[in-house]
Chain A
Amino acid sequence: MSILGILIPVSLALGGLGLAVFWWMLRKGQFDDPEGDANRILSDDYDDRPK
């Protein structure tokens, strides 16, 4: 059962990482225009400075 001592912290850390990344995405406004982002990837314009 001593393996739990490693696995539980690892799973919690990974979950926490996911939460932190979600918080970052929310702050960066990545959910503001989901439809637009899905379509922009199809655009042929060469953009070396994406906004």
Chain B
Amino acid sequence: MTAFADPQRPSACPACDAAPLAGLLAGKALTDARLMLALPAIHCAACISGVERTLMAQPGVTDARVNLTLRRASVQAAPDVDAATLCAVLTAKGYEAHELDPGLLAATEIDAAGRALLMRLAVAFFAMMNVMLLSVAVWAGAEGVTRDMLHWISATIAIPAVIFSGQPFFQSAFTALRARRLNMDVPISLALVLAVCTSLYETTLSGEHAYFDAAISLCTFLLAGRYLDHRTRANARSAARELAALEVPRALLVTGHTTQTVAAASLQPGDLVRVLPGGRVPVDGHVTHGHTELDRSIMTGETLPAAIAPGDTVRAGEANLTGPITVRVEAAGRNTELARIADLVAVAEAGRNNYTSLADAAARLYSPGVHIVAALAAAGWFIATRDVRVALNIAAAVLIITCPCALGLAVPAVTTAASARLFRKGMLIKNGTALERLAEVDTVVFDKTGTMTDGAPQVQGLDGIDTATASVALALAAASAHPLATALSKALAGRGILPAAITQVRELPGFGVEGTWHGNSIRLGRAEWVGASDPLATTATYLRIGTAPAQAIAFTDQMRDGAAELVAALKAQGRAVVLISGDREAVVRRFAADIGIDTLIAGARPDEKAHAIAALTAKGAKVLMVGDGMNDTAALAAAHVSISPASALEAARAASDIVLTGRSLLPILDAMQTAKAARRRIKENFTIAFVYNVLAVPLAVAGLCSPLIAALAMSTSSVTVSLNALRLR
């Protein structure tokens, strides 16, 4: 789990995150008897007990526990219990269930960094409350020995508490100073250390003012901001990891006459792998046995299935549609073409890293400013009074007053509120600055296959076919599991057509279905096999009865829910909308006309898609890329901000900033609205924090800032900022 060990920043490159994931997927899943299931649809007490009871009733299951917050169940079971069977049982009972890889999720379960931060926050809060109580007594007018005693008790509580709770700031400041740069934590640490030291010195001299309460409440407010920030990041990362854990790449290894399930990454070149219909090809290689059709849309964007015969090349990620095939492995794991495209992502990512978040921009102005003001104030007072003690007290007061409590809360509070809101609408925010970037978008680029379309074909132009022919087509189509055949039989059955009585039905994987009807040979399938003279340019299947000429049945892709509304709304908002696809120009052009997009790029290869995005960016556009396929990943990474649907390939989801959890595309509109609102709130928060500083700093510099004023200014600014952020929910 070293890839996730650094709690401060997730890896900048999704490919780097994905690589160790793939390795981890391989080893652990097969040996660990502890199973993990994702239950995306559970929501109430009845679901919890229903799921737990169902699981416990399964033979071999010793313990089952549902976590409703994470929508997950962990199961202790005998080694022979299979997660797939448990999922099937749960799904049959009405609880949608998917297998998760427990090896990947182990780190999410025990979020050690989050707990440590929470513990520090608790200690700081405890100390703050007690020191504040004592301070109230001092503010109320305690004098002489009583005041000294109260100060000493405050010191004994505050000093260890600051040392323990302030460590995240001290460490970060130390790292920054060693690298000879300033960050937000340098003035924070300086303020804490200076406040505690001068207060201790004042206390030993029976002085009037001690800032122990200010130091520890500073710590508390800042830790609260840190904790919120950490939780947003951890949630985002665990969401990304959960998506990765949903796909356990396995392969059926052929050894002699038997097959066994192995992890795809453990395969060696030369191994034989069986790929069943409905499965994805796990490796790059050559087909040795079997005919089939492959859906290559995830790699190329092309919707027409490709016919595959022995000797043909197949690539990892392609979906097998009709017949079982045996593949001789040429490359597996990191060496596949699929993994190589993922490396393109790393290159494209580098271009995006120069984005400066609002928080960074504020910190860049803030850190030097604070030091200069504090140093000038101290120098001025030293020249005026020739008293080091007064000068240091003034410097401490200035640092405390200017300390970025509100600044530290301004961004995390807004991001947390916005992410929670978008999660309810069906979106996972994977990147902390994604919302800020989304607010700037003026151009939206959509991928066609799998993003704007549903992947399920729909029959077109059934009206030209008479009932007898239709009933033959239905009888043949019902015999096959091919997506086109399934769509055809569903459409025909929906029109009330009954299947004709046909005999000797036989499916030839990769070609079609044939049979006999009233003594005539009948065929339904690919153009060349059926003998169609002029095949259509679009996706189609062909039917021939006896010696009559073959009839074409054309298909179109079904538009995804909300796609048309989304495009219309984006255009109404004055944003440029572009359709980009690897599919053939005729198909893309017709689809673009249907959905109302004027600008289109067809036949684009993966690197061309990325180049198109780069060209738009070079012209000054802020591009939002929405895509799902392997061929989109480089483009997703190159865009200013990117979104992928839940059905997307894992690498595409890893490369994008936001993942849609539902089927509809409409939440994208909500996301853009929320992003704008969030950006406005962040700016408001910065203004609020700035106004407080402008009001309080002159007091501190003039030496009029008592600990009471410091405490009031700090708490009110932090509370105002948090409340302003909560308006977003």
Contact = CB atoms under 8 A, between A and B. Distances in A.
Interface in A5-23: 8, 11-12, 15-16, 18-19, 22-23
A26 B49 contact: no
Interface string B99-121: 00000000001000001001100
Contact of B69 (A4, A36, A43, A44): A36
Given A40-B45, A42-B45, A43-B48, A34 B69 contact: yes
Interface string B45-58: 11011000100000
Nearest to A16: B126
Contact of B45 (A12, A15, A19, A39): A39
Nearest to A47: B49
A34 B146 CA distance: 45
Interface in B696-719: none
A48 interface: no
Nearest to B115: A26
Given A19-B122, A26-B119, A4 B146 contact: yes
A36 B67 contact: yes
Contact of A33 (B69, B129, B130): B69
A44 B109 CA distance: 28
B72 to A, nearest CB: 9
Main secondary structure of the interface of A (DSSP, over half): helix
Nearest to A37: B68
B68 A45 contact: no
Interface string A25-36: 010000111111
Contacts of B109: 32
Q: How large is the interface on A (under 10, 10 to 19, 20 to 34, 35 or more residues)?
A: 20 to 34
A35 B65 CA distance: 14
B44 A22 contact: no
Contacts of B118: 26, 31
Contact of B130 (A11, A22, A32, A45): A11
A1 B146 contact: yes
A18 B68 contact: no
A12 B157 contact: yes
Interface in B32-68: 44-46, 48-49, 53, 63, 65-68
A15 B49 contact: no
Contacts of B63: 51
B119 A23 contact: yes
Contacts of A15: 126, 129-130
Contacts of A26: 115, 118-119, 122
B211 to A, nearest CB: 20
A12 B48 contact: no
B153 interface: yes
B134 to A, nearest CB: 8
Contacts of A45: 49, 53
Nearest to B142: A1
A30 B109 CA distance: 13
A34 B68 CA distance: 8
A42 B70 CA distance: 19
Contacts of A43: 45-46, 48-49
Contacts of B65: 51
B133 interface: yes
Nearest to B111: A32
A7 to B, nearest CB: 10
Contacts of B130: 11-12, 15
Given A23-B119, A23-B122, A26-B118, A39 B44 contact: yes
Contacts of B53: 45
Contacts of B133: 11
A42 B50 CA distance: 13
B502 interface: no
Contacts of B46: 43
A40 B48 contact: yes
Top 10 A-B pairs, shortest CB-CB distance = A36-B68, A39-B45, A42-B45, A35-B69, A35-B68, A33-B67, A19-B126, A33-B69, A43-B45, A43-B49
Given A18-B126, A33-B70, A45-B49, 16 more contacts: A4-B149, A8-B134, A11-B130, A12-B157, A15-B129, A19-B122, A19-B123, A26-B119, A32-B109, A36-B67, A36-B69, A39-B68, A40-B45, A43-B49, A51-B63, A51-B65
7 contacts: A15-B129, A18-B126, A19-B123, A23-B119, A31-B118, A33-B70, A45-B53
Interface of B: 44-46, 48-49, 53, 63, 65-70, 109, 115, 118-119, 122-123, 126, 129-130, 133-134, 146, 149, 153, 157
Interface of A: 1, 4, 8, 11-12, 15-16, 18-19, 22-23, 26, 31-36, 39-45, 51
